[in-house]
Amino acid sequence: MTKVGIAGIGFMGWIHWLAYQELSGVEVVAIATPEEERRAGDWTGIQGNFGPPGAQIDLTGVKTYENLQSMLADPDLELDCIDICLPPAMHCEAIQAAAKAGKHVFCEKPLALNLQDCDTAVATCKEYDRQLMVGQVLPYFTEFQFAREVIASGEYGKLLGGSFKRVISDPQWLTKFYDPNVIGGPLFDLHVHDAHFIRLLFGMPTGVYSCGRIRGEVVDYCNSIFRFEDSELAVTCTCGVINQQGRPFTHGFEIHLERATLQFDFQAFADTPESMPLKVLTEDGKVHRPELGDGDPVFAFKREIEEVTRAIAENRPSDILNGALARDGIQICQMQSEAVKSGQFVSAADVVK
């Protein structure tokens, strides 16, 4: 049995909790959160842009702490892994503390808000021989997992490129969303999903052109064109925030292969969600519509946590959730941010710290 302590009970801590409840072989035995009511099981104030609303939770048998430090200091608490769902600015310090205490780490994305902290987190876990996994859950959503597996199979030939989008309405419940030193804004909190997925599919971009809007010190919305060593790869992405609350969330992709195009689009409107389910357009003019299940977003987090428990059991890095890939995703976001602010092409070599 893998024993987990969750540090931070907000929206993502709630979603992770739900996923753990549906899995065998892993158990949440402790939580740490500064809110007294949440330590008492009142999670009704939690809200986000997908999944069920927060609820009243029975924490019988779960030890509660005010912070991660007190959780790690308890000599009577046996833990294999710390699940970090704290604000992004706290990730690096929390990862170091957990690794030094001998715990494996599952950290919600983003790994950190700058490359120096990313490198410190990765190096610390390596020094203490602890697995570091980052919650880049997108590859486990059914449409994205299907795309990844089809591409890897080579069934439709060479990967030629693609376009990706991820746009939300202004998350007004997050008071520090646009603070570059706390959450980091849309690029680091939202687009990092697609940055990681692009890195996973195409390799590391050599540079990027981006244009967009700035809010305070962070990019609010942008369109990006990526360059790769393979100059024939054509990859673009749209990400950011709109101010109208009528469409809280949308994401999708169109991925081009030599003998097929993969297309998917989902939009959550305030009245009702609308979806263009995944389709495979083949070179013979046919449209294939794979059966992918009911689209429950918590299911993706279950698969993600299954990978976390596997990596811990085998003490072997995850091919998808490892810290190095998550670090590259942050570098991509930083490249885009600097490209928007400068109005110039930014290469990967320009952004190394």
pLDDT (tens digit, 9 = 90+) per residue, 122-160? 999 999 999 999 999 999 999 999 999 999 999 999 999
Confidence band for 45, pLDDT divided at 50, 70 and 90? confident
User: 3 in helix, strand or coil?
Assistant: strand
Beta bridge partners of 174: none
3-state helix, strand, coil in the chain (%, to 5): 35, 30, 35
Residues 172-197: what's their mean pLDDT?
94
219-256 burial: b if 16+ Cβ within 10 Å, else e = bbbbbbbbbbeeeebebbbbbbbeeeeebbbbbbbbbb
Residue 293: the pLDDT is 77
Contact 190, 265 (CB under 8 A): no
Tokens found for residue 185:
């804004």
Q: Which domains does the chain have, with CATH numbers?
A: 2-135+301-318 (3.40.50.720), 138-295+330-350 (3.30.360.10)
Distance CA 131, CA 103 (A): 8
What is the DSSP secondary structure assignment for residue 56, as one 8-state letter? B
Residue 295: the pLDDT is 67
Residue 226: the pLDDT is 98
Q: DSSP string covering 228-272, please?
A: -SSTT-EEEEEEEEES-TT--EEEEEEEEESSEEEEEEEEE-SS-
CA distances from residue 345 to 32, 191, 269 in whole angstroms, order as listed:
43, 19, 35
Residues 6-31: what's their mean pLDDT?
94
Residues 4-23: what's their mean pLDDT?
94
- Beta strands 132-135 and 104-108 are parallel
Reply yes or no on whether the pLDDT at 99 is more than 90: yes
CA distances from residue 230 to 104, 158, 202, 344, 345 in whole angstroms, order as listed:
36, 12, 9, 21, 17
Residue 230: the pLDDT is 97
Confidence band for 172, pLDDT divided at 50, 70 and 90? confident
Distance CA 77, CA 5 (A): 9
Distance CA 324, CA 214 (A): 28
- The angle at the Cα of 167, spanning 162 to 172, to the nearest 5 degrees, equals 165
CB neighbour class for 289 (10 Å; exposed up to 12, middle 13-18, buried from 19):
exposed
User: 152 in helix, strand or coil?
Assistant: helix
Residue 174: the pLDDT is 83
Residue 49: the pLDDT is 66
Residue 32: the pLDDT is 97
Reply yes or no on whether the pLDDT at 50 is more than 80: no
Distance CA 197, CA 160 (A): 15
Confidence band for 243, pLDDT divided at 50, 70 and 90? very high
